[in-house]
Amino acid sequence: MEEVLALVEARLRTALGEPDARAAVTFLGTDRIEVLRFTEGDVVRYATLGMSAQPMTDPTAALADPVKGPRAELLLTVRAGIADTDKVLRPLAVLAASPQVEGVVVAPGASLDLGEPLWPGAPFSSVLVAESGGLVEDLELDEPRDPVRFLPLLPMTPNEAAWKRVHGAQALQERWLNAGTDLRDPLRRSVTLD
């Protein structure tokens, strides 16, 4: 477990530089989850560290495989200085702990809902999990372990989350793209959904 997390942190540092802050959260019955903050110009990135220590297990499986299964960490990128986004540390840790707590397999296209704003005054209480491989490359591990995927999180307004449930993740991402939506804006309004 420690070996995997050391490799994950090294990959994050290679891709994003040195973190300028980190916080740790431990929930009852779960492994410790850290959230690292990386600031670059007017952008701040938050990355979880700890979610990939154990493979995610299908909740219908009779036994959890301690080696095989998908592994991931979460990434959130927002514009700095516009909102108090540093308060997102605990909500991100909650999302990263969801595979251990709720038996959820976090994968691209999924919605994760907190039921409360991501940070004070945020118009978002849920996120869309995007495809890995962009900002931080997947981290290959020795067989038979699955690679660690670094999954970007795209904040969704309640209207966008409801629309996504009906029309799907791809349709929502196309709406954002066609509207030129700045998904890094921590105070952005909902895209037009007609």
pLDDT tens across 3-32, in order? 999 999 999 999 999 999 999 988 777 788
Q: Encode pLDDT of 86-125 as tens digits.
A: 999 999 999 999 998 888 899 999 999 999 999 999 999 9
pLDDT of residue 30: 77
- Sheet holding 21-25: strands in order across? 21-25, 33-40, 43-49, 71-79, 148-156, 126-129, 111-113
In whole angstroms, give the CA distance from residue 162 to residue 173: 14
- With CA atoms as reference, report the closest residue to 113 among 181, 121, 102: 102
Is the model's pLDDT at 159 over the cut of 90?
A: yes
Tell me if the pTM is above 0.95. Answer: no
- 52 by DSSP, 3-state: which? helix
